Chain A
């Protein structure tokens, strides 16, 4: 079964510091990968996605992620954290066309805190 792991349930960074949120997946076939952000008491918003095009993907709010097949990773980064980045971040995987349906598998989430 496919699974997604996110190392660190809680990450704290100082404002202006590098943000690095880790995501690894287990899969026998190359997946599609997504990062979603969830602000308190809200639904999920797409940050970026990888669907087998360029391995370095740029998203909204200055975030980017790099797909590394050899490491089965899709880590999320941002060069300089802002207070407004404090939220829960979910790495998500789904599968290409031979898998009927869009059965997203979510990681457990990483809560990002940004310290002044």
Chain B
């Protein structure tokens, strides 16, 4: 049973460019959340997708957008990259939106470096 898979694992982008990160949830999971983890900090919630819609959003600008596909996989897009966007981007999946305290499972993350 595959867990949460993310791609790419590492990438380097230039300021002003755009990036797309991809996530496949754990088998049987229908909800995907994205987190940004800056070096030495805890993960910060970006947004959550359920039934192909953004259900909740953290304190991130509109440059951060996403999408969920019918097979529950998801993409995170970041436009007009800034140096401060350099971080580990974590995808997490769960069954349902967490109303019963369901566990969320994390992928290994995508390391983004903006130069």
Taking Cβ atoms with an 8 Å cutoff, the residues of A that contact B are 32, 34, 36, 42-46, 49, 51-52, 90, 94, 96-97, 100-109
The answer to whether B41 and A108 have CB atoms under 8 Å apart is yes
Main secondary structure, interface of A, reads loop
Tell me the nearest residue of chain A to B43, going by C-beta.
A106
Tell me the nearest residue of chain A to B9, going by C-beta.
A41
Taking Cβ atoms with an 8 Å cutoff, the residues of B that contact A are 4, 31, 33, 35, 40-45, 48, 50, 55-56, 58, 90, 92, 94, 97-109
The answer to whether A104 and B45 have CB atoms under 8 Å apart is yes
The answer to whether B107 and A103 have CB atoms under 8 Å apart is no
Most buried by A among B55, B98, B102, B105: B98
Q: A101-B50, A102-B104, A106-B43 are in contact. List 11 more A-B contacts (CB 8 A).
A: A43-B108, A43-B109, A44-B43, A49-B101, A51-B101, A90-B43, A96-B99, A102-B98, A104-B35, A106-B44, A109-B40
